[in-house]
């Protein structure tokens, strides 16, 4: 579960989890609800990325 390569996500989700630009802009890019849930799940799982 800790292996990130197992996570299959669209570039939009990856841009949310690892924002290339400003985080709120990345949030606005998410239009698919399932992508948003996946992004939030990844964000919660890998919260060390957000400290």
Question: What is the structure's pLDDT at 22?
Answer: 54
Residue extents of the structural domains in the chain: 4-50
Question: What is the structure's pLDDT at 19?
Answer: 52
Residue 19 in tokens: 């924002």
- pLDDT digit string, tens, across residues 1-51: 444 555 555 556 655 555 555 555 555 555 556 666 777 777 666 555 554
CA distances from residue 4 to 21, 41, 45 in whole angstroms, order as listed: 21, 12, 11
Question: What is the structure's pLDDT at 44?
Answer: 63
Read off the pTM: 0.24
Question: What is the structure's pLDDT at 34?
Answer: 66
Question: What is the structure's pLDDT at 1?
Answer: 44
């Amino acid at each position: 579960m800790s292996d990130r390569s197992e996570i299959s996500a669209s570039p939009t989700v990856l841009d949310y989890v690892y924002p290339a630009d400003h985080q709120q802009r990345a949030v606005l890019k998410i239009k698919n609800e399932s992508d948003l849930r996946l992004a939030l799940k990844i964000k919660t799982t890998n919260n060390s990325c957000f400290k």
